[in-house]
Amino acid sequence: MSRITSTFAELGPRKALIPYITAGDPHPSDTVGLLHALVRGGADILELGVPFSDPMADGPVIQRAAERALVHRVSLRDVLAMVREFRRQDTQTPVVLMGYANPIERMGLSNFAQAARDAGVDGVLVVDYPPEEAEAFTAAMRAEKLDPIFLLAPTSSDARIAQVGLLASGYVYYVSLRGVTGAAHLDVDAVSAVFPRLRTQLKLPIGVGFGIRDAASARSVARVADAVVIGSALVQLVEKAGPDNAEHELQDFMAGIRAALDEETSA
């Protein structure tokens, strides 16, 4: 059983809180401390973004974070080194790498999978590996006991949902809206309406992200989802707080979201 699967099993009826930050933002030396701050604030699973020069699924907030990291020439191997350092103190919290195919293809699928396993990565989500073209990726991940995680969206067909159900493990990431990260027009009713269709074809936990910015929106999504994914709001907080205050502010923000999710479970 993977760390991700174990985490969901241990949560029981509680909802998983999955924060995202970009590796190397605002500086490579800050990332590990920020990850630990997220865990102290109540994170159950961590998503760590791999900086890329053309992040097609991301809005301006995460684009700027990737640009700040790339100024310091943060590479995929650097990100794996950050995970390895994080594992020196935390051997329990699952870490999912989220990014794009180009850096992985350059390293080679098999080499990447082995390096990710050795660093302590638990799952990998590649935005531009559609499930119809991801058999090699999935095989490489499973060979190293890593969870391949896939995106679904409001536009996903029944055929794509079924394909994701066959390939994915760990959890499935449902994009709540048509657009990029950081959008503010979250429609919880629309998310709720699609979940019965998802549940009939997916046996994995379903996390919802894109457009979740605060405790109220997180709690609303938690009424239907198994996990809440928050990214742009955290990256924006890091951007505004600066390196001296980011850890403290991330921890406090996460604690507020964690409390809201637990209140929803109790209700």
Give the pLDDT mean for 124-136: 93
Choice among 25, 44, 58, 226 that is catalytic: 58
Q: Per residue, what are the HEC states of 124-151? A: EEECCCCHHHCHHHHHHHHHCCCEEECE
pLDDT one-digit tens code per residue, 170-208: 999 999 865 444 455 667 888 889 999 999 999 999 999
Cβ contact 50:73 at 8 Å: no
pTM, two decimals, is 0.94
Q: How confident is the model at residue 242 (pLDDT cuts 50, 70, 90)?
A: confident
Catalytic residue, candidates 47, 147, 226, 247:
47
DSSP-derived pairing of the beta strands 227-230 and 206-209: parallel
Select the more confidently predicted residue: 60 or 57. Answer: 60
58 among known catalytic residues: yes
Q: Residues near 128 by Cβ (< 8 Å), separated by ≥ 6?
A: 56, 100, 101
